[in-house]
Structure 1
Amino acid sequence: MKITIKEVAQMAGVSVTTVSQIINQKGGRFSEATKQRVLKVIEEQEYSPNYFASNIIAKKSKTIGVIVPDFSEQFAAAILKEIKYQLEKQGYYLIICESDHEFDKEQELLNQLANIAVEGILLFTPNDYQDKKLFKNGRFRDIPVIFADRGLNDGFYGTIKIDEYSGVYRAIEWLLAQGHRKIGLIIDNSEHYHLAERFEAYQQALLDCGLLIEEKYIKQMPLTIAGGYQGASELLNETDVSAIFCCDDMVAIGCYQAIYDSGKIMDQEITVVGFDGGEVTQIVRPQIKSVHQPYKKLGKAYAEKIQMAIDQPERRMDDQLFHVSFIT
């Protein structure tokens, strides 16, 4: 059974305050004999302090809560890798929770993270909180919350936005320059996300080239490998596309599988371009071209933003804009 600090004090014949100060290396005013007596009891009884309880009181847990829609989501996972690296250098640790894209579960997790006294929360969400009164001056129960949501919510601590439009436009321009005129698009089905910029860039690039927007070339699917497989299978069976732009890399992997199963040859009979530029597109041959997100820059920016919000919770912050890149 775990021994308490009160029991340690009783066994050593001192006060709880004395034990606490010796443990925290603040026992300079005590004699060496007193310190050794306390330390001997701690060693013999294998006592370990309940830092969790003390952190709740002090509100300095050195932990940051993170809520993600799905652990397998490449965008969040890649950014979190950099956020974790940056914050651990400052002595912080992440507690990562999965919301399954559900608004109610996000609220439940916000409460749970607040109950364990995290110092800040990063909320990766597909949900709109604009009309909800859950946050006061950017805080949930006095804990700063940073939104990571592609600019969906206007956060008190500023919004990190990504210029997705220009990256997608350049990718479609490149396909057009390669001679493709029948370019399919597999876009989100708006179940969890609405990637309007990517859709608008696809449309505008075609219009600027004098091409019509044909509905038969556009498939709305879940942002999953299965969704990509189904969307690509339908495009291959119903149309004569020579290229497919996938608005997500997981979709592109499913598309790749469908092309392989159809017997067509990648990059000879059909070209695929994805969006995100994560490691997943590098595991197949030939590699899938992709619009690349600036994951390291984004992760560093979120890490700096959450630290600043913790240190200066009353301070509003400016928005930041990052650009994606398409490298042929």
Structure 2
Amino acid sequence: MKLTIKEIAKLSGVSVTTVSQIMNNKGGRFSEKTRNKVLKVIEENDYAPNYFASNIILKKSKTIGVIAPSGSEQFTSGILQVLRDKLQENGYYLIICESDHQQAREMDLLKKLNQLGVEAIVFFTANQYSSEVIKQGRYLKTPILFVDRGLNQGYYGSILVEEEIGACKAIEWLIRRGNQKIAILTEDATTYHLNERFLGYKRALKEANLPFLVELVQKVPLTIEGGYHGTTQLIHSQPDVSAIFCVDDMVALGCYQAIYDMEKQLYRDIDMVGFDGGAMTELVRPKIRSVKQPLEQFGAILSEKIKKVILYPNERITDVMLDTVFED
């Protein structure tokens, strides 16, 4: 049974104030004997203070809330791994909540995280929010840092990625490999709008004097299942397709599985590239070539922004633009 601070004080024969000050390293005025007596009782009873009660008093929770559609998304998980490690170096911890892109759930999570007293919220969203909900960068009194491809006008600035050039380089690589009929598995617009990746695809075709064909555009959910079914439908309707550009690595993983189930060999019978460059694409063999997002750099910049926002919540932060990389 967990003891209370009052019970620790009673067992030590001192006041609650004395226990509290010793626990918070403010017991310099007490004798060594008193300090040791209190610390011994704490150690023997494996006492830990009520974390959230302490937060209410100190108004410093050392926690950062995260609202993400899913922790399994490669883009999201890659950033969160870096963010977690960077923030833990400064004694901060993440509380991660999944929203599945549902705006009603996002609103509920904003409310819950604010009630928990997190010091800031990192908000991965594909939904738009009015100034009535997020006013001057805050939900109520909690600073909000959007990760949303610039969809919302973030008070604390957006971290943007130059996606069109990366997509263009990937298609150029497919063309150099002799592919003339290159299809694209793109988003169905139920969640994110990945316009820059689509523009990069069209730009590369135009620069190579290859026609843009509507029948080579397959719109799918940004999931493994979406990639699998989209690839199957595409190959059945367009059997002479020689390469596929997947605008998301989860889609690429589904595409990879469909190619395998159709008894085709990747990079021999058909070429494919993905987009994001997460860890999962490196695990399969042959590995999936992918446009790599600067996930580590993104997470590091985001962690610095969080620390700045906590210290200076009224200061605006400018946007940052990062580059993608495609290694041919």
Decide whether the 8 Å contact of 1:187 with 1:199 is kept in 2.
Answer: yes
Distance in 1 (alpha carbons) for counterparts of 2:8 and 2:249: 57
3-state SS of paired residue (2:70): coil
Q: What is the CA-CA distance between 1:133 and the residue it aligns to?
A: 1.4
Structure-2 change in CA distance of 1:208 and 1:54 (3 Å)? same
Structure-2 change in CA distance of 1:22 and 1:291 (3 Å)? same
Q: Which residue of 2 aligns with 1:285?
A: 285
Distance in 1 (alpha carbons) for counterparts of 2:187 and 2:65: 28
Q: What is the CA-CA distance between 1:253 and the residue it aligns to?
A: 1.5
Q: Which moved more, 1:213-222 or 1:47-56?
A: 47-56
Q: 1:66-95 CA deviation, whole Å, 9 max, x = no partner?
A: 111012111000111111111111111111
3-state SS of paired residue (1:325): coil
Decide whether the 8 Å contact of 1:182 with 1:241 is kept in 2.
Answer: yes
Q: Which residue of 1 aligns with 2:185?
A: 186
Indicate whether 1:2 and 2:2 are aligned: yes
Q: What is the CA-CA distance between 1:113 and the residue it aligns to?
A: 1.2
Structure-2 change in CA distance of 1:256 and 1:316 (3 Å)? same
Q: 1:14-67 CA deviation, whole Å, 9 max, x = no partner?
A: 432222112222222223444345445545555432232111221211111111
Q: Which residue of 2 aligns with 1:256?
A: 256
Distance in 1 (alpha carbons) for counterparts of 2:250 and 2:42: 53
Q: 1:224-255 CA deviation, whole Å, 9 max, x = no partner?
A: 11111111111211111111000011111111
Distance in 1 (alpha carbons) for counterparts of 2:15 and 2:299: 46
Decide whether the 8 Å contact of 1:118 with 1:143 is kept in 2.
Answer: yes
Decide whether the 8 Å contact of 1:162 with 1:321 is kept in 2.
Answer: yes
Structure-2 change in CA distance of 1:22 and 1:202 (3 Å)? same
With the length of structure 1 as denominator, give the TM-score of the two structures: 0.94
Q: Which residue of 1 aligns with 2:221?
A: 222
Distance in 2 (alpha carbons) for counterparts of 1:263 and 1:43: 63
Give the letter aligned to residue 142 of structure 1. Answer: K
Q: Which residue of 1 aligns with 2:242?
A: 242
Q: What is the CA-CA distance between 1:210 and the residue it aligns to?
A: 2.3
With the length of structure 2 as denominator, give the TM-score of the two structures: 0.94
Decide whether the 8 Å contact of 1:56 with 1:116 is kept in 2.
Answer: no
Q: Which residue of 1 aligns with 2:95?
A: 95
Q: What is the CA-CA distance between 1:10 and the residue it aligns to?
A: 4.2
Q: What is the CA-CA distance between 1:256 and the residue it aligns to?
A: 1.5
Q: What is the CA-CA distance between 1:273 and the residue it aligns to?
A: 0.7
3-state SS of paired residue (1:326): coil
Q: What is the CA-CA distance between 1:209 and the residue it aligns to?
A: 2.3
Q: Count residues in correspondence.
A: 327
3-state SS of paired residue (1:184): strand
Q: Which residue of 1 aligns with 2:305?
A: 305
Indicate whether 1:266 and 2:237 are aligned: no
3-state SS of paired residue (2:322): strand
RMSD: 1.7
Q: What is the CA-CA distance between 1:163 and the residue it aligns to?
A: 0.5
Distance in 2 (alpha carbons) for counterparts of 1:159 and 1:281: 27
Q: What is the CA-CA distance between 1:260 and the residue it aligns to?
A: 1.8
Structure-2 change in CA distance of 1:242 and 1:25 (3 Å)? same
Distance in 2 (alpha carbons) for counterparts of 1:265 and 1:37: 71
Distance in 1 (alpha carbons) for counterparts of 2:264 and 2:46: 66
Structure-2 change in CA distance of 1:257 and 1:36 (3 Å)? closer
Structure-2 change in CA distance of 1:285 and 1:49 (3 Å)? closer
Q: Which residue of 1 aligns with 2:81?
A: 81
| Unaligned runs of at least 5 residues, structure 2 | none
Distance in 2 (alpha carbons) for counterparts of 1:54 and 1:196: 46
Q: Which residue of 2 aligns with 1:165?
A: 164
Decide whether the 8 Å contact of 1:160 with 1:322 is kept in 2.
Answer: yes
Distance in 1 (alpha carbons) for counterparts of 2:158 and 2:294: 16
Distance in 2 (alpha carbons) for counterparts of 1:37 and 1:178: 75
Distance in 1 (alpha carbons) for counterparts of 2:325 and 2:194: 17
Q: Equivalent pairs: percent with the same residue?
A: 52
Q: What is the CA-CA distance between 1:218 and the residue it aligns to?
A: 0.6
Q: Which 4+ stretches in 1 moved above 6 angstroms?
A: none
Distance in 1 (alpha carbons) for counterparts of 2:237 and 2:288: 23
| Unaligned runs of at least 5 residues, structure 1 | none
